[in-house]
Structure 1
């Protein structure tokens, strides 16, 4: 089993002044505001000296001068989850939660993520990267129908389209290309939608219980993720033990393959033959009232506030300078 056992919480006074980075400039700004507010309030209730900092409204110069001893990244999408901010924090020498610049960048790029997973022998649906509409007529012949079109550098199902027939390709491509210069075409896997939260780093990384997501008509879009109450969640998912163990094992292997750290979430489809298929990795998952990592943590007896403190305790710079020759 890969599931975590709860560790004693650290002395929060040792964290010093903590910045909660939220908001930002991505298409997921509104979700990030919800996540940031939730994390901020949770840290305050645990006695942490926490302060909100909106990276969409304030500059890196402001961040450098804010006097934070460490930061909790509650940003989603570009300029927060994609390695750009992580690189800046490394230059500032400011410890931060989650994965480092390289892992964040890889995980934010769905195409590169799938290439890394394939290199490690991990199962992910067939795909093609499209950069021109001229390919639209032939892609269904190779990937089959239905298929999924998505912007490879966005999250939260932003711009994702399910294509049922050839005639839907142009509209689906247009929807996805609003958010990206490229469009990822992916084989559609019919089955159960699952997700696994992972905490820790390297050999210490462990999975939380599998969550099953049941959305109306199987449509787990932005509306059903963050707004509607119609989506159902089952944690732990009702799965045979061997299947559950296989999924959590693959989740941890997928997380480690990208060199993720701190925390993250790995999304799956489980087909009719109980074969799991990796969809994507999230290195800064949502922390809203509808979010899944807090749900999985609750299943092992960890409250939302305890989860936030646990994640914050792992804040660190990931790039280390080589020793200087004397």
Structure 2
């Protein structure tokens, strides 16, 4: 097939997108496809014209545009098939405060939160005790994220984050370890337990992308009952948001045995060593086989 590989864009996660696209490009060539690279940052106005000349679009954008459903909606308008979720599910899942409402409505456990549509007044205080997290309502890769330990750091963190983000959410610190679980088709994959390296307080951007920044254990060494619950919640969240193809749900697993669903990613990282490809490898799918599966699912979902 002639495949249009869409990556780059203009979000804060641009470099993550471009790095992942390199491996996807090579895999597509190994699978026998012809590939045209398309970067919306340089030529968004030409997307429809380019898509019309291709059989399929493979989207590897992070943040907006891409995870917000904009590119998906454009492709849908001309009937160009693509991998992953369609525009409505993508739009819902990118907005953390919205997804949390969907989670609660479907009986999925998620931490409490406060939504900040604008910079609050200087005397504003969150309803949660310190330490807490303030993060972008629509960002990813742990960019636009701040751990706040006291009133003294609150104003500085808000100023810093609102300088680049239009909306934020505030969440209490949930003690525990990070667990992530991918969904491929209608099957939940083996979860991964994430242990940030010494010196990293949490799984931040540096821990995610610096070699040795975190220890990622797959399958996660969790009790069987917890593994089953993680997979159940990941699949239920995928379905509740109306997603298709693939997704990845992120959790905190607390010492008391409770699980807390943080968010769902509709375009998870896709380097060969990213989290979802690791989970696919655990069930016998090579990176190339995973790419082929996503194309197959995309062709089926877009009929």
TM-score over 0.5 (shorter chain): yes
Match of 2:225 among 242, 247, 270: 242
Indicate whether 1:41 and 2:31 are aligned: no
Deviations 1:147-175 (A, max 9, x none): 11001011111110011112111122123
Partners in 1 of 2:7 and 2:114 — Cα distance?
33
Identify the residue that residue 299 of structure 1 maps to in structure 2: 282
What stretches of structure 1 move > 6 A for 4+ residues in a row?
317-320
Partners in 2 of 1:290 and 1:136 — Cα distance?
44
Tell me: higher relative CO, structure 1 or 2? Use CA pairs within 8 A at least 6 residues apart: 1
Indicate whether 1:277 and 2:260 are aligned: yes
The secondary structure found in structure 1 opposite 2:121 is helix
Partners in 1 of 2:266 and 2:26 — Cα distance?
21
Please give the residue correspondences for 1:60-79 in structure 2 after superposition, counting only pairs within 5 Å.
60-65=45-50, 67-79=53-65
Deviations 1:28-84 (A, max 9, x none): 110100111111101111212222222222234354245111111111110111111
Is the CA contact 2:48–2:78 (under 8 Å) kept in the aligned structure 1? no
Identify the residue that residue 68 of structure 2 maps to in structure 1: 82
Go from structure 1 to structure 2 and tell me whether the alpha carbon gap of 1:149 and 1:57 turns closer, same or farther (over 3 Å shift). Answer: same
Is the CA contact 1:154–1:179 (under 8 Å) kept in the aligned structure 2? no
Partners in 2 of 1:317 and 1:302 — Cα distance?
19
Identify the residue that residue 125 of structure 2 maps to in structure 1: 138
Unaligned ranges ≥5, structure 1: 1-15, 321-326
Is the CA contact 2:182–2:188 (under 8 Å) kept in the aligned structure 1? yes
Go from structure 1 to structure 2 and tell me whether the alpha carbon gap of 1:165 and 1:314 turns closer, same or farther (over 3 Å shift). Answer: same
Deviation at 1:266, TM superposition (A): 0.4
Please give the residue correspondences for 1:1-326 in structure 2 after superposition, counting only pairs within 5 Å.
16-65=1-50, 67-130=53-116, 131-134=118-121, 137-139=124-126, 142-200=127-185, 205-216=186-197, 217-316=200-299
Is the CA contact 2:48–2:75 (under 8 Å) kept in the aligned structure 1? no
Is the CA contact 1:209–1:236 (under 8 Å) kept in the aligned structure 2? yes
Is the CA contact 1:215–1:224 (under 8 Å) kept in the aligned structure 2? yes
Over the aligned positions, Cα root-mean-square deviation in angstroms equals: 1.7
Q: How many residues align?
A: 299
Deviation at 1:319, TM superposition (A): 8.0
Is the CA contact 1:100–1:317 (under 8 Å) kept in the aligned structure 2? no
Partners in 2 of 1:119 and 1:70 — Cα distance?
35
Deviation at 1:316, TM superposition (A): 4.5
